[in-house]
Structures are given as structure tokens and as C-alpha cells.
Structure 1
Amino acid sequence: MDLDLDYTNLQEEFQNLNQLAASIADTDISLVNLIDSYTQWTVSHFGMDLIQMPREESVCQYTIKSENPLEIRRLDKDVRFKDKFFVSGNGNDLDLKYYYGIPLTIESGENIGALCVLDKEEKKMTPEKIQQLKFIAAEIVEHLKLKKQLKIKRLEVHEGLKTRNKLAHDIRGPLAGIHGLSELALEDELTKIEMISYFKMIGESSTQLLDLTEDILNANTSKKNPAAGKIRIKDLGDKIIQLYQPQAAYKNIVIEVDIPTKDEEMKVYMDSLLQIIGNLVSNAIKFTPTGGKVKLGLSKGIADDIENLEIRVEDSGSGFSAEKIKNILDGKGISSMGTSGEIGFGLGLKLVKSMVEEMGGDFNISTIENSGGRLKMTVPQY
């Protein structure tokens, strides 16, 4: 079992148990060793400074092959160990003769290491001492188990916070647009046709907002999973328009989608695409002044024999400064206000860059002074 623990961080945690084991066994040395396919890691030690050694050089490699403790009264007379550096001397002050090891057994029945005591003098363990050492070994296993569970829970909390932040960030733009249009739709001077148009946009955006929410919540379980489903590029463009039309309409911004005719019927994985493209479009609307334009380009490409979805977003805003481009590419989120005072939290492009790179894609950003921002990325389709 891979405990996925920082072995260098366990010395102090097990030090008292090491000392207790040495005291019970009346030995000079006590070690807690965890063993993988190639290495024995001494995660905690008393009486002997040791961090690691090749598995084939260790005594504990034999201890973990059985469910019973292993006792070797004379290491110097055992052909397996008599020439080892910790037995033969060779200029060091170890010259160990006695070894007693207890397997560290987890719930699955797998032995992951050993608690061992060693001494320069030949000894013999009594049943009482053996039982007490077994209690210490069981305590070490329980501690490792709880440490692993705590790490998993911390990761779950961290992922939960990330999901919450993504959800709060990504739905803010569409919700603001829906709210703005609903206020406009209640104005007395609107014609019935205009009101119907607004409410239709609100309804379509609400439907796609549910899809976006589902996409975010399922992000951790649908990574490149065929079960996540595919979508035609044309339908993907329509979803983006429906989702962000209210936000654009409220600022009197035109959204255009450019898809080559030959690519309209081609399908791509839905995995996180609403999040990625939605963030880009929402951000472009935010930084485009009233009456401006946002253009979304979607097309299928091939790089290194791998199909990918090419995504381009252009706007007629003020563009990005060189410093802001550097901060975005360095993964630093910097909050700023939109052209109509929209509140920014510095998460959008940082999240997009991270998501695209996690999927094995490329993220590029450029600008032309006073002529808007240009963002381009590719998302592999495999």
C-alpha cells in the first residue's frame, strides 16, 4: 500500500515509541522501518542515525515476509548478514549482534515495514516483552493509518473549497446578466416583443447555467472520461451564446461565434469546456466597454498527430498590459474592475490557464494596445 507520506516528517512523531521499545527490549537501538520495492526507509530511529538503505541490504526485508516476529540472536553468525556494514564493523562502532523485528501489518494484511530493536549483545526476548513490543507496533500502524486518513480528508476539504470557489466565480457573470436583463424586462417602456426576447434569453441562459454548474461539480469524476459525453462544436458555441447572452446584452455587447463550416459537425469532449470557454467569454465581456464586441472562435486542429480543439477569444476592450500578461502566465490572479464596475477576484484566467495545462493543452495571451485582448488555447481531444 502506498501511504503517500512524508517519511522525513515522522522522526519526532515516533521518537517516544522508539525509546519505549528500546527500553522494553533492553537494547541500544530501536527503528521504525517502512519498506517499498527497492528501499528501506527508517522513518524514526533511536540509538542509530539511519535514513535509508537498499532493501536487499536490510534485515527487515525478511521480517515482512511473515506475519510472525523475526529474532536473530547472532547476526555475525548468519551468512545473510555477517558481512553487512552494521555487523562486521569495518571501522564503525556498530558491530551489532542481536535483532528482533515485528512486522507492521495494515488492515489488508500487507506488511509495510517493521519495528525492530538491535543490540551489540546477544539477547533473548521474553513473552512479556514480545507482547509489549507488539502493542507498540500496532500503535505505529494505527498512527500511520490515521495520518493517511487525515491527509485524505484535508485533500477532500481542499478540493471542496476549490470547487466552491470555481462555482462561485463561474456563475457570477451569467447570474449578473440574468439579473440585469430581468430588471430591464420590467421597465414600462419595453414592447411586448422586447420583453419576450429578454425572457427567452433569461430562460436559455438559466438552462445553460445548470449545465455549467453540473460541469463544475462533476469535474473531478469525468476527467477525459468517455462517459462525460461529446458535443458538436456548433452546439458548444450555441451553449456559450445562450449562457452569456444576458451578460452581454445588459452591456449592449455583441457576441459572435466563428466556426469553420467543415468543423461544425465535429465532436469534442464536454469535459470542463463550459468552464474554460465560459470564463474567457465572461472575462472578455467584463473588460469590453458598452457597445463593444466579443468574438469566440472554435475549430478542430491537429498537433503532433493529436486532435485538439482550438479556442480563440478576442474583444474590443483596452487589452492587457505587459505586466498583466506576465502575471497571468505566472499564475498570479490579480483583481481588477470591469468597464462597468464589475467586481473581479483575479481567479478567471488563472483558473483557465491551470485547467488547460492540466489537460495537456497550451494557453497563450497577447494584446494590441487599445485594440483589445487576444487569447488562444488548444485542448487535446484524447
Structure 2
Amino acid sequence: MITTAEQEELRRTVRALLERNPPARPAPDADPGYDETVWRLLAEQVGAFGLAVPEACGGAGGTALETHVVCEELGRTLTPVPYLGSAVLATEALLVCGAAEPLPGLADGSRVAAVAWAENGTWDPAAIRAHVEDGRLTGVKEHVLDGARADLFVVPARTRDGGLAVYLAEPSTPAVRVEPLATLDLTRPQARVTFDAAPVRLIGADGHRVLERLLAVAATAISAEQLGGGERCLEMTLDHVKTREQFGRPIGSFQAVRHRLADLYVLVESARSVSYDAAHALASGAPDLAVRAATAQAYCAEAFSAVAAETVQLHGGIGFTWEHEAHLYFKRAHSAAKLFGDAAWHRARLGPLVLGG
């Protein structure tokens, strides 16, 4: 991992803010929601939502490495704010399409945009069936991050000739129906969005190019969250085994436990390497970005899932109760592993990507 002094200062600032304002944990029967206080503080005090937005549009004009740092810190704390969906994915989509008008509102955190992309449980562009006829969009989009709070939807859809293009849609019309979803991960709201001949505006004629870029950005950003979550799980587990006693001694003194912890450490540090490798590729415009991003998501998804599972196991009975946070990380790990394509799908992509097919 190579970061600048400014990026490390950003990390310290975000971490300190999150430590001072720990997110309220959801109750068993709660619906996924947002931490409005942290959302406001990240926007007003840190400018986190505008890191990727050009200065001319009210942002900081940063790189993918700055947003990567923030994603990692939010993943450590499972803080529910519309960052990945709005500040990363939707912002990138608007930038790639050259649609600058909504960016100032996204940069200051006052507005939320959502990319309505997945259909039939997959983010594969080939699966998209939503279509536009005469400026009207019809179709159903699933797993829309921050969809219930979105002021604007960025939607890839089929054109009349079967190609892919990217459109903007406003939710404030009866032709757009937003349904919040009950999800495994209560710290990340999702929605199903139905478009019934909804009026849209074309912003990107080459939808394949836009989605190729978005997939790399999504894979890279979620790997940062997975890294942060895995790192926090390891820290919690280390703290626990130092104080939890069995047979009159801390369980962390047993060789078998030490071996398991060493394996977790290797998983977390390896995840750090591949995640930041993808972030550097994204920031530098590397030609093999797609390969490095797919590798990062495939590895980090499985690493986080393994670390979270061991965290529950090594915490014993308390690990799977609502009194401890371990179960929240376990649920985030398994939910995030499915976002933007699972590890098997990304590994399957690597062959054609490496071979140039």
C-alpha cells in the first residue's frame, strides 16, 4: 500500500470522526437506515462526498485513492451513509458521461444519486432488459444502493436498436416506483426501482464503455470496504482472545488459536495489497485496470467472509448474538460478496480480460 501524507491525514480525520460518532446499531426488527449525523459531518467537516468531484463542480478534485481511504474507514465501522452508491458510483457515472449539472449537490452531500443497474440478480451488462422507447424507460432494477433516498437515478438501459445507453431519471413521478428492500445487511439500504414508461434524459450513448468503467470502480471501492471490515474483525478478535479465559489462561495463548489468528492476519494483509493495487490502477488509468479490479473484488470478498466467520467462531457464544457486533460484520461480508458480481463471476472474467478477449 502506497499512500501520501495527505491521504493518511484524511484517514486519521475520517477515523477520528467515526470514533467520536459511532453509528447506532440496528435493532433486530429495524429497517435499514442512515446515520444522518455522520452523513452531515462527513459532508460538512471532511468534504468526503466531493472528493472525486472536480473543483469546478464544487468538489476537491481528488483521485480514486482518496475515496478508497474513505471507503476503507466506512467499511471498518459499517457506517450507514450513502457513500458507495452516491459519492462513488453515481458520481463516477456522471463524470464518465459528462453530465456535470447534478455534481455540486452530490459533492456537498445535500443530494443523493443512485445507479439503477442490476437486473435478475446480476450486474452483467448482457442481462439488462430495461429499455427506452421515445424517451420513456420501462423496466425493473434491483439491489439499487441508496435507491429509497435518491433524488436522481442513473440508469443503463437498452436503446431501440438493442444497444446500451445511460439515462437520467427523476423519482418524483408516478412512473417511478421505489420499494425499499428487506436485506441481510441492515447497515446498507437497498431498493427495487420500477420504471413504467418514465421520462428520461440521455447522458451516455456508449453504455458498454460506461458500465465497463463503473464495474471496475465498483469492484475497487467494495474491496476497500471489505478490507476495512476484515481489519476491524481481526482487531476485535485479537482484543477478545487476550481477555477471554479458558482453563485459567487467555485463549489467545493456545497454539491452535494463534495459528488461526495468523491465517486471518495473512488474509487481511493480502487483501490490503490487492485492494490498493486496484486503487492505484484506477487512479493512474492503468490499461490493465479491469484485471486488477476483478482480482481485488474476488480476493477481498472471500477474505472478508472468511475473517468474519472466524470472528464469530472465536468470540464463542457472544459472537452470534445481537449484543455483539460480530454478526453485523458477518452479514456485511456475505452481502457485500454478492454486490457487483460474486468472486466466481469475477474470476471467470479474468481469463478473457487477461487474454484480451
Q: Which has the higher contact order (CA 8 A, sep 6+)?
A: 2
TM norm structure 1: 0.27
Rg (Cα) greater in structure: 1
Looking at secondary structure, tell me which structure has more helix per residue.
2
